[in-house]
Amino acid sequence: MPDGGAPKPPLLELCGVRKSYGGKVQTEVLHGIDFSLQPGEFAAIIGASGSGKSTLLNQVGLLDRPTSGSILVHGRRTDDLSESELTSLRGRTLGFIFQFHHLVGALSVTENLLMPLWLSGQAPSPQTTNLIREALDQVGLSNKALARPDELSGGQQQRVAIARALIHRPDLVLADEPTGNLDSQTADSIFALMRDFNRSRGTTFLIVTHDPRMASRCDRIIRIEDGVIASDERAGQ
């Protein structure tokens, strides 16, 4: 009987990742991190301030190279890629959502959504217009296409940031405290929106959060302490 072919590699895999900073005296922040993400996962990273969460997110987001160890995306090692190749891989594969939306105030909502497409080298086209229309519709802001960020509420601004992160349909979205600057009701709506994208599109999410309530609603919780993974639990365990 056919075996169905070789199993697909994880979407993301970290193997023995260590990260140090400093000059002659090096301080190691990550101490041999091993974990992987499968397509479609909805996972949280939690940990105290200074535990290494931000450093780990920079590694996962290919924003910084590890001191040692390897990071693989779709089974491909990234340590031998040039900076331009890393930038291209990041643009094709990853989306980013931050606590502060980082929208460009001088640009309209539509122009802010165009930025990832511009950066990936895509020229404006009828398909681009359709992508923007679809993205705004999915985050409930169809009537805000021409608005400036300062004309939107905090929750609306974060919805634009989510649309911007997802407009090029990345395989993995990294969300760094995406509701940390919002009231609880708005935070719940933002979480529900991310969850909807995860379920309807199969987009993988990795969410860094201080909020235990948000983490508890994820399918997997990775706890980092002093630069190591202290626990890695799935819902129901």
Domain assignment of residue 207, yes or no: yes
Domain assignment of residue 133, yes or no: yes
CA 120, CA 205: separation in Å to the nearest integer? Answer: 21
Number of domains in the chain: 1
45 against 88, higher pLDDT: 45
pLDDT score of 157: 85
What average pLDDT does this structure show over 6-29? 86
Domain assignment of residue 182, yes or no: yes
Q: What is the DSSP string of 43-88?
A: EEEE--TTSSHHHHHHHHTTSS--SEEEEEETTEE-TT--HHHHHH
Domain assignment of residue 2, yes or no: no
Domain assignment of residue 29, yes or no: yes
Provide the token pair at 51: 């535990």
pTM metric for this prediction:
0.84
**pLDDT, the chain, mean:** 84
pLDDT-derived band of residue 16, with 50, 70 and 90 as boundaries?
very high
Domain assignment of residue 167, yes or no: yes
Q: Which range marks the domain in which residue 157 is found?
A: 12-234
Percent with pLDDT over 70 in the chain? 90
What average pLDDT does this structure show over 47-59? 87
pLDDT score of 229: 93
Query: What is the tens place of the pLDDT at every residue in 201-234?
Result: 888 999 988 888 888 889 999 999 998 999 888 8
What average pLDDT does this structure show over 62-76? 90
pLDDT exceeds 80 at position 51: yes
- What is the longest distance spanned by two Cα atoms in the chain? 61
Domain assignment of residue 3, yes or no: no
Closest CA to 162 of 171, 153, 174: 174
For residue 183, give the CATH number of its domain: 3.40.50.300
What average pLDDT does this structure show over 4-32? 84
Query: What is the tens place of the pLDDT at every residue in 147-205?
Result: 888 888 888 888 888 888 887 788 999 988 877 777 788 788 788 888 888 998 888 99
Query: What is the tens place of the pLDDT at every residue in 89-125?
Result: 888 888 888 766 678 888 888 888 887 666 666 666 6
Domain assignment of residue 19, yes or no: yes
